[in-house]
């Protein structure tokens, strides 16, 4: 039996963050897809919310927020720490984590819901309820599940007025600069990963790499870096 259990999904932004962290830490974990049954039987009863990812610790505790999860595991599993020892580097790594969690969420949500990533995205969401059903049923259910997420997009400030600036920044500045950085360094702060790297990995992998349209953009713009998987 694995020491940790990750309840998440490949298309989930913050699941990508925690999955990459657990892999780097070389921790023994099992990932369980968060189907509707898992939500009802495990996630909601043990956390009180309907959000993923959730990590079950070896002691049987259920943790929900990714920053809380990482902080707890860093205390319990100090090997291969992602917390820089230098005070300035520590602060910068936390700022980068915040940047990934909150700011990269903007292009992640924009490119997922405002471009043609369908039926791929609806199939992913439909798998929560009907993983073994035919594709057209998964797509139908997935569209109903995904609709509330699409409605969140304008509330994040992603509007017709702001979209040109978001796309220019992401495509012409962020990806270009990130690609240049990774052509010279393995990680955001140099030769080893910090908590900031995992904050970036979540949106860059789950939305901006896996979804068809932004995935093509990334492949086009990131010739040297932006390594996912």
The residue among 191, 117, 114, 120 whose CA lies nearest residue 156 is: 114
Q: How far apart are the first and last CA of the chain?
A: 25
CA distance 219 to 114: 19
Angle at CA of residue 71, ends 194 and 181, nearest 5°: 15
Residue 147 has what pLDDT? Answer: 85
Residue 204 has what pLDDT? Answer: 97
- 75: preceding bond cis by omega (within 30 degrees): no
CA distance 193 to 201: 11
Residue 229 has what pLDDT? Answer: 43
pTM over 0.85: yes
Residue 115 has what pLDDT? Answer: 95
The strand order across the sheet containing 4-8 reads 29-33, 4-8, 54-56, 62-63
Residue 111 has what pLDDT? Answer: 97
Residue 130 has what pLDDT? Answer: 83
pLDDT tens track, the chain, 229 positions: 579 999 999 999 999 999 999 999 999 999 999 999 999 999 999 999 999 999 999 999 999 999 999 999 999 999 999 999 999 999 999 999 999 999 999 999 999 999 999 999 999 999 988 888 888 888 899 899 888 888 999 999 999 999 999 999 999 999 999 999 999 999 999 999 999 999 999 999 999 999 999 999 998 876 544 554 4
For the chain, domains (ranges, CATH) are: 4-76 (3.40.30.10), 87-221 (1.20.1050)
Which residues, 6 or more positions from 131, have their beta carbon under 8 angstroms from its beta carbon? 33, 35, 138
Residue 228 has what pLDDT? Answer: 47
- Torsion region of 25: left, alpha or beta (phi above 0 gives left; psi -120 to 50 gives alpha): alpha
């Amino acid at each position: 039996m694995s020491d940790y259990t990750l309840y998440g999904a490949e298309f989930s932004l913050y699941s990508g963050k925690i999955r990459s962290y657990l892999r780097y830490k070389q921790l023994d974990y099992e990932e369980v897809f968060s189907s509707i049954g898992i939500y009802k039987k495990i996630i909601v009863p043990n956390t009180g919310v309907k959000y993923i990812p959730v990590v079950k610790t070896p002691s049987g505790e259920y943790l929900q927020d990714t920053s809380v999860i990482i902080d707890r595991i860093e205390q319990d599993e100090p090997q291969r720490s992602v917390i820089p020892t230098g005070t300035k580097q520590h602060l910068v790594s936390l700022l980068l984590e915040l940047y990934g969690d909150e700011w990269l969420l903007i292009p992640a949500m924009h490119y997922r819901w405002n471009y043609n990533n369908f039926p791929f995205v609806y199939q992913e969401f439909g798998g929560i309820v009907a993983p073994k059903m035919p594709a057209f049923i998964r797509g139908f259910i997935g569209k109903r599940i995904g609709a509330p997420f699409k409605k969140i997009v304008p509330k994040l400030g992603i509007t017709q007025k702001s979209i040109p600036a978001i796309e220019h920044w992401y495509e012409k500045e962020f990806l270009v600069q990130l690609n240049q950085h990774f052509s010279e360094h393995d990680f955001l702060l140099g030769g080893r990963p910090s908590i900031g790297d995992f904050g970036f990995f979540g949106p860059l992998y789950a939305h901006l790499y896996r979804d068809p349209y932004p995935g093509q953009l990334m492949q086009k713009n990131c010739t040297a870096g932006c390594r996912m998987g």
